[in-house]
Amino acid sequence: MTAQTSPLVLTPNAKIVLDRRYLKKDAQGQVIEKPEDMFRRVARVVASADALYGREDQIPNSEELFFQVMTQLEFLPNSPTLMNAGRSLGQLSACFVLPVEDSIDSIFEAIKQTAIIHKSGGGTGFSFSRIRPEKDMVKSTHGISSGPISFMTVFDVATETIKQGGTRRGANMGLLRVDHPDIEKFIEAKLQTDRLNNFNISVLIPDLFMEALENKQEYYLINPHSGLKTRSVSAQAIFNKIVDSAWRSGEPGVVFIDRINRDNPTPHLGPIEATNPCGEQPLLPYESCNLGSINLARMIKKGEIDYKRLINLIHTAIHFLDNVIDVNKYPLPKIEKMSKGNRKIGLGVMGFADMLIQLNIPYDSPQAVEIAEKVMSTIEDESRRASEKLAGERGNFPNFEGSVFDQPDQKISGMRNATTTTIAPTGTISIIAGASSGIEPLFAVSYYRTVLDGTQMVEVNPFFKKMAKERGFYSPQLMEQIAREGSIRNIPEIPEDVKVLFATSHDISPSSHIKIQSAFQKHTDNAVSKTINFPHEATPEDIEKAYLMAYHQGCKGVTIYRYGSRETQVLNLTKSTDSSKISPRSRPTRTLGITERISTGCGKLYVTINSDEKGICEVFAQMGKTGGCASSQIEATGRLISLALRSGVSLPSILKQISGIRCPSPTWGNGHQVLSCSDAIARVIINYTQTKIEDEERVMGSCPDCGGQVVHENGCLTCHSCGFSRCS
């Protein structure tokens, strides 16, 4: 039995995340489990699968080895495994894909199955491409179809209703083929910010579309129900819509579906049509996948990559993930059958940026691309060797016959898992590991962390802090300045080579982001979760170039984010600016206005809007008989809105700040989803004034759970303070 060589050392953020979301709690919500107990619980349950293959004698060694790699923060499985292994729920998979056929029965069966999966802690992906277009004839009822986007809204409402005990919240990926007749409406669906808030959306793009685009040709939209061509459209015009919507809101992403299906390991079972919520895991209908990540930051020894240690860890991780398939409690029998039939697993990485820093290699350099390819090719090769070895001991995955591995030109004896590698988001598990997220650059060198009493503390990247002290330019004041600025590029006292080494996501060009994604994709069975960051001043043409570059460099999908274009700023960083003091104009003696009632999760809210000769001058609200904190907060919101209005702040700017703020009890009011009382006030103002929010944005401003900074990476919004993730 292998003994643990070092105690578990966790950062303050890791402890907060574990307490809030992972560790066992009693009926009063008090934590009753230590982090070491959690890792022991997971190791024991996962190791127990060895008994299924006649290796009961191996269980103690497996348990200790699994416990060791987790407590040394070298490898961590996806969040549901950490949360649920050894507990009554027992659902250990992160991602699922469900089929949606063109019938009411199929659609509402998928909604029911989605609710079951979300309740168990998983996320779901769907292709809505089989649903007939809007206004198409439905012969059985002599009516017309409402189309895929309207049914997506039903899925969205169902997802909002499912609460997962405060640990994980269901997320969805909605996909539609670019040749579906409703594609234009789908592309712009997320520009309307009052719906589909539980969906990421992506357009499925086949090679034929890309050929039409490059040749400046038209292509046909095809009714999936009849198989008939409905009309021809310009590929460039549709692509421009995708680019423009992504420029404005960050969505839709694009998925190169033919490239994904060329790598489909089991084509005899059917084509892949959908992915999980962050796009890195293409799956067949009813498949699930179990993911885990190696912490590359821990693979450095004396300034070099310790490949021997890495290889040993890969084999342990593949053993671990294959065992998870057997001890998992699946939410649906069909999912269990498909998951055990193909036994897909996805081993990926986190801490890539930390690894590069320790190697003194800038993220946006040719050397970083070389390291990415070398490291991931090692993981690819060794994970397949490990799976081949397990196949010799335990047998091939049941659907092996007819798979791409069951071909005469294959030089393998067998394969235990249809896929072995995936680059997944590692939002919360990277916080637990104290590592940079996935293959992303640093999100900040120094930032403010909001602690439980509401105060803010400066959090500094440990590698930067160490280097700053060693080279003599460290000071608390400098760390505060960096936290305010976000980037260190414009701070004169920091040496130039340090500025280059500690590049953050917005210091790096989109082309450098894509080169890293492409390097990892070359050696990944499934796909790569990565965000391509753009500065606020980027143009739609810049985004178009990035999409084309990603396609030509072999990426399977692209997620972009232009700074400031979405509901949450990538970094909650503030820059001090000089401004003259503004005094509000006096409130007139008499005003004219309206009062509107709107439903919120807390009750009926009465919102009054008053105007003078210069326009709206005040807004106030009252909620029934509510008193105490809720009443005072509503009053404060109204007072501040009124103050801003009489001080000359534009109405769209005010609406951007109060619209989209989410409370624990969202509801539906006046035909729209109402996320909170402030969101309700914004909705009433919008209805009354017909004002559109500038760029259709909603600004949340900070994490809805802890008020900390929210970062857009891996195609999702994640808080590095408490582990909140919009995708889980």
Annotated catalytic residues are 276, 278, 280
Handedness of CA 77, 83, 87, 93 (dihedral sign): negative
Backbone angles phi, psi at 313, to 5 degrees: -65, -40
CA 76 to CA 431: how far, in whole Å? 11
Distance, CA of 522 to CA of 479 (rounded, Å): 38
Measure Cα distances from 590 to 617, 619, 639, 716 in Å. Answer: 11, 14, 17, 48
Q: With contact defined as beta carbons under 8 Å apart, do 292 and 423 qualify?
A: no
Q: How far apart are CA 283 and CA 265, in angstroms?
A: 11
Helices (H) and strands (E) in the chain, counts: 23, 27
Locate 260 and state its tokens: 């994904």
Tokens of 527: 């796909």
Percentage helix, strand, coil for the chain under 3-state DSSP, each rounded to 5: 40, 20, 40
H or E element that contains 481: helix 476-485
Torsion of CA 627, 629, 630, 631, to 10 degrees: 50
| Residue among 44, 92, 164, 3 nearest 335 (CA) | 92
Residue type, 715: G
Reading the block at residue 610, the tokens are: 């008053």
Distance between CA atoms of 199 and 181, rounded to whole angstroms? 21
Quick count: other Cβ atoms within 10 Å of Cβ 636?
A: 10
Report d(CA 465, CA 461) in Å as an integer: 6
Extract the tokens encoding 703.
């994490």
List the Cα angle 631/633/635 in 5-degree steps.
70
Helix (H, G, I), strand (E, B) or coil at 242: helix
Q: If DSSP codes are grouped into helix, strand and coil, which group holds residue 564?
A: coil
DSSP secondary structure string for all residues of 283-309: E-TT-EEEEEEEEGGGSEETTEE-HHH
Task: Indicate the DSSP class of residue 570.
Answer: S
Residue 32 burial (C-beta neighbours within 10 Å; 0-12, 13-18, 19+): exposed
Pairwise CA distance, residues 379 & 537, whole Å: 38
Q: Are 168 and 728 in contact (CB under 8 A)?
A: yes
Is beta strand 603-612 parallel, antiparallel or unpaired with respect to 95-97?
unpaired
Q: Dihedral angle at the C-alpha atoms of 151, 154, 158, 160, nearest 10 degrees?
A: 110
Asked whether the bond before 252 is cis by omega within 30 degrees of 0, the reply is yes
**Dihedral angle sign, alpha carbons of residues 226, 228, 232, 236:** positive
| Distance of alpha carbon 312 from alpha carbon 323, whole angstroms | 17
Amino acid found at 522: K
Please check whether residue 126 is in contact with residue 97, taking contact to mean a CB–CB distance below 8 angstroms.
Answer: yes
